[in-house]
Amino acid sequence: MKEESIRELSCFQQYATKLSEQGIGMKAAEACIVKELLEADKQLPELELLTNSSVVEFIMMNIVKDAAHEEKDITLSRVMETIEELASANTEEEALPLMTEFVNNLRRLLKKKRTRDIRKLTTTDKNYYEIENLLNELDMHLMNASSYPWSQALLVDVLRSVDLDSITKGNYERAYADIYEMHENQEACDACYNRLIKHSPEDANILYGWLTQLWQRRDYDACYDMITRGLQLQDSFFQEMFLDIARDIAEQTGDDSAYVQWKKQYGKRDTNKQNLTDTRVNKVQLPLDTSAYTDAKPNKPCPCGSGKKFKACCNKILDKTEAQGV
């Protein structure tokens, strides 16, 4: 979307007028909205944000809200209080407003170029892992949200505002497409995944995300193609997950020829030397330090950001490590 197209949007003048009422003038308000929308599109080109009118309007709405908060200082203590409140929230109704506030404050810190404060929130071990867990919780809450345009828009703010590692970022890009799938918009979901994979062809997380959708649809031919592409990436963390789905497909179809070949080529080798290399293999497979899993719960999202429950993800590796006395 070009600048001219943004200015032609039906809600553009409405939000430009609201923004100008903050005392910056109409021309400056229009320029501010255009600039931020173009920057968002440039920051996340794989999502083609500006083709989604609901997301565009959500961004414009937040530009106006942020301007109203310009004079109010955002303290790190308030952000941390929000994290604590989120941790104790018991229902989706309690959690969603807090999540929105948390993400809004991160975005405002970023706009104020308070990168040092954001770094304090996301790079110290304690805060980083707490936020990782909260963002995984956010993913699960969004998938239950009744208004999926709102879900997508808030997810965009997460991707714009939080400094995530590649695994977690891929998980949130997957979630963006999964929201389409949840609302049975299969065509939009496929188009979104195609864009994601075209933009990040070596991101095993995104390939795995689409594979899970194709598997649920029982589109086995497409699954075989996705498994082949995923295994060829030689990603030690996701390789076992691709093989797990290949095994499940073999059981469902009664044809295990492809799985046997993949297992032979990419599966772990059971040799007498395996015990000598288990420590090294496990160290490679665990994406986070073991301390990150201290407070992980079996049925909660895994701290690594894979999108799977902890008991079905890194907990398997940890159990194996403990059994071997590593």
CA distance 186 to 180: 7
DSSP 302: P
CA distance 96 to 108: 18
Same-domain pairing of 262 and 274: no
Q: What is the pLDDT of residues 232-278, one digit of tens each?
A: 988 877 888 899 999 999 999 999 999 999 998 888 654 343 443 34
Q: Is there a domain that residue 11 lies in?
A: yes
Same-domain pairing of 41 and 9: yes
Same-domain pairing of 194 and 248: yes
Q: Is there a domain that residue 277 lies in?
A: yes
Same-domain pairing of 276 and 255: no
Q: Is there a domain that residue 153 lies in?
A: no
CA distance 18 to 13: 9
Q: What is the pLDDT of residues 14-73, one digit of tens each?
A: 999 999 998 889 999 999 999 989 888 887 787 787 887 878 888 898 888 888 776 566
Q: Which domain holds residue 276?
A: 268-326
Q: Is there a domain that residue 278 lies in?
A: yes
Domain's final residue, options 30, 53, 68: 68
Number of domains in the chain: 3
Same-domain pairing of 194 and 209: yes
Length of the chain counted residue by residue: 326
CATH number at residue 203: 1.25.40.10
Same-domain pairing of 288 and 229: no
- Residue indicated by tokens 């304690």: 126
Same-domain pairing of 199 and 262: yes
To the nearest whole percent, how much of the chain has pLDDT over 90?
18
DSSP 309: B
Would you say the pTM of this structure is higher than 0.85? Answer: no
Same-domain pairing of 256 and 274: no
Q: Is there a domain that residue 164 lies in?
A: no
Q: Is there a domain that residue 252 lies in?
A: yes
Bridge partners of residue 309, in order along the sequence: 301
Q: Is there a domain that residue 325 lies in?
A: yes
Half-sphere exposure of 253 (CA within 13 A, CB side): 18
Q: What are phi and psi of 252, to 5 degrees?
A: -70, -35
